[in-house]
Amino acid sequence: SCSCSSSSSSLSARRTRVQQPHMNLFFLLTCLCFIIIGARSELAPVAPLLPLQLSTTATTNLLRSDSCGFVLDCGAALKSLSWVRAEGRCQLSCLWSRRAPRGGARLQRQVVRGGGATSSMSQGGSSNVIDGRRISQLVQEEVKLHVEQLKSEHGVEPGLAVLIIGDRTDSQVYVKHKVLACEKCGIRSVKVELGKETTQEEAERVVRELNGDSSIHGILVQLPIPEHLDEKKLLAEISFEKDVDGFHPTNIGLLAMRDRKALAQPCTPSGVMEILRREKVETKGAKAVVVGRSNIVGIPMALLLLKANATVEVVHSQTPRAELESAVKSADILVVAAGKAGLVDGSWIKEGSVVIDVGMNSIPDASKKNGYRLVGDVQYDEAAKRAKLITPVPGGVGPMTVAMLMHNTVTLAATQNKVPVPMLKGDLV
């Protein structure tokens, strides 16, 4: 337990000495005590008990928790102390730099209702940057609870099978991330590896065997596969009841129909919609522009936005540049998934719009150790100045794809066992 005085007189007496750099440690310890007490007792009104005066704040990290969050700002010496409470755990993180200037310490209290994140300091330091990693974490924590519920109440253990063919290093990395996410959420994962010389018949036989395994609820073929294999035929072998990627023609057909719902929705577009929901972005009546028409992102993205009552326009690689520019300038919500670095000029972005950049492109960069850096399809720096909200690359949409894959697996497990389907109900930001 912590021993610290809460009397207003003692704290008031110390106020005049906050300017001294060595007092930063005292205020840090004091705040830690109150934070820990608040975390244990779930008493939200902690900050008003600390009569600390504010100086100019250099940086502010927005926090997310189930009840409340805190930021302690001590100028340049202690940039931030953040507390996040999730599932009964108290997480603390500190960011230090050089000595503090005159002016003292700052404690902010922010009340939040669960939900996602509206700020990320990782790209540009702006409060309009969407933290996809944080929202992904929240989704996966919720999925974990759903898995535990399925196990305890219905005896159902969700299972995901990932089929990887060949020896591509990037595919191995992607599969590793999915397996780790399964472990985090409590989902049983089965990794099936086949050599690059695998025949079409052998690959299809493996898929049919997985279709018949009642302990496997979702099947995913890691793309790309070796060129000698027929990708469409192989994917068509996956039972649409176990189509965890949501690409089966039956699922896409259901997605396209009003008042009907696919068993599983494509993960990346579904992740985008979850970002919009948790960031409280109004889609009803909004002008939404989707750049790209792929089966994986563009087309299902447009369908999901239509179902959310947006007015949707789709442009693509064959759209004349002048029309592309015109469409982007009109967008209240812009989703770009063209796979071309810097395709969308930042100056085209409508003031106050929401920009979701799905693109992930590597460009040469001699300043980087590996010789390249990752960028999106939108020219970020200029776009960030104009957008109300924007996703960074990396750290925006990418983490959400894996999170929604976990959600789809749980959905299919519940559907196949004829038990209630857990819904993502995370509070909005």
- The percentage of the chain sitting over the pLDDT mark of 90, rounded to a whole number, equals 66
Q: Residue 171 CA to chain centroid, in angstroms?
A: 21
The tens digit of pLDDT for each residue in 107-158 reads: 333 333 233 333 333 344 468 999 999 999 999 999 999 999 999 999 999 9
The alpha carbon torsion through 80, 184, 277, 390 (nearest 10 deg) reads 50
Q: Is 245 a catalytic residue?
A: yes
79 in catalytic set: no
User: Over the chain, what is the mean pLDDT?
Assistant: 79
User: Could you tell me which residue, 428 or 70, shows the higher pLDDT?
Assistant: 428
Q: How much of the chain, in percent, has pLDDT values that exceed 70?
A: 70
Average pLDDT over residues 14-43: 51
Pairing of strands 106-111, 68-74: antiparallel
Out of 73, 123, 137, 178, the active site residue is 178
Question: Taking 50 as the threshold, does the pLDDT of residue 213 lie above it?
Answer: yes
Q: What type of residue is 177?
A: H
Whole-Å CA distances, 167 to 23, 259, 270, 307 = 57, 42, 29, 39
More confident residue, 30 or 353: 353
Structure confidence at residue 370 (pLDDT): 87
Residue 424: pLDDT band with limits 50, 70, 90: very high
Say yes or no to pLDDT of 163 above 90. Answer: yes
pLDDT band at 87; cut points 50, 70, 90: very low
Could you tell me which of 422, 419, 391, 427 has the C-alpha nearest to residue 406?
422
pLDDT higher than 50, residue 74: no
Q: How confident is the model at residue 161 (pLDDT cuts 50, 70, 90)?
A: very high
State residue 170's pLDDT score: 87
Does 222 qualify as catalytic in the annotation?
yes
User: Which pLDDT score is estimated for 135?
Assistant: 96
According to the model, what pLDDT value does residue 196 have? 95
70 - beta bridge partners?
83, 109
Q: In sequence order, what DSSP letters do the residues of 231-278 get, joined into one string?
A: HHHHHHTS-GGGBTTS-SHHHHHHHHSTT---SS--HHHHHHHHHHHH
- pLDDT confidence of residue 110: 31
Q: What does residue 274 show for φ and ψ, rounded to 5 degrees?
A: -70, -35
The Cα 245–Cα 263 span in angstroms is: 10
Task: Give the Cβ contact number of residue 67 at 10 Å.
Answer: 14
Q: Mind listing the pLDDT tens digit for each residue in 229-280?
A: 999 999 999 999 999 999 999 999 999 999 899 999 999 999 999 999 999 9
Q: Where are the beta strands (DSSP E) in 37-126?
A: 68-74, 78-86, 89-96, 106-111
CA dihedral 25, 30, 36, 37 (to 10 degrees): 170
Q: pTM score, two decimals?
A: 0.72
349 versus 42: which is more confidently predicted? 349
Residues 6 or more apart whose Cβ sits within 8 Å of residue 302? 288, 290, 293, 312, 314
Reported confidence tier of residue 427, pLDDT bands at 50, 70, 90: low
Instruction: Give the lowest-confidence range in 22-36, 181-195, 300-314.
Output: 22-36
pLDDT digits (tens, 9 = 90+) for 277-292: 999 999 999 999 999 9
- Residue 292 to residue 313: CA distance in whole angstroms: 11
User: Would you state the structure tokens that stand for residue 95, as one six-digit string?
Assistant: 């960011």
Q: For residue 394, say if its preceding peptide bond is cis, omega within 30 degrees of 0.
A: yes
Pairing label, strands 188-194, 159-165 = parallel
Q: What is the mean pLDDT of residues 211-224?
A: 96
The number of residues in the chain equals 429
Pair of tokens at residue 198:
């695998």
Active-site entry in 245, 332, 357, 377: 245
Q: How many CA atoms lie within 13 A of 251 on its CB side?
A: 26
Please check the confidence at residue 323 and state whether its pLDDT lies above 60. Answer: yes
Sheet holding 354-357, edge to edge: 311-315, 287-291, 333-336, 354-357, 389-390
pLDDT of residue 127: 82
Q: Per the residue annotation, which of 137, 222, 265, 416 is the catalytic one?
A: 222
Per-residue pLDDT, 28: 61
Give the mean pLDDT of 198-218: 98
